[in-house]
Amino acid sequence: MKISTREDFPGWIPGNLSKGHLDRFYFLLAGLIAADFVVYLDFVVYLVCAKWYKYIKSEASFSESMVGEEV
Query: What pLDDT tens digit does each residue of the chain (71 aa) get?
Result: 666 677 776 666 667 767 667 787 889 899 999 888 888 888 888 888 899 888 887 776 655 666 655 54
Q: How far apart are CA 35 and CA 56, in angstroms?
A: 36
Q: How far apart are CA 63 and CA 42, in angstroms?
A: 37
- Domains of the chain, by residue range, sit at 17-70
Q: Which of 39, 16, 41, 12 is nearest to 27 (CA)?
A: 12
The pTM (predicted TM-score) of the whole model is 0.46
DSSP assignment, residue 65?
H
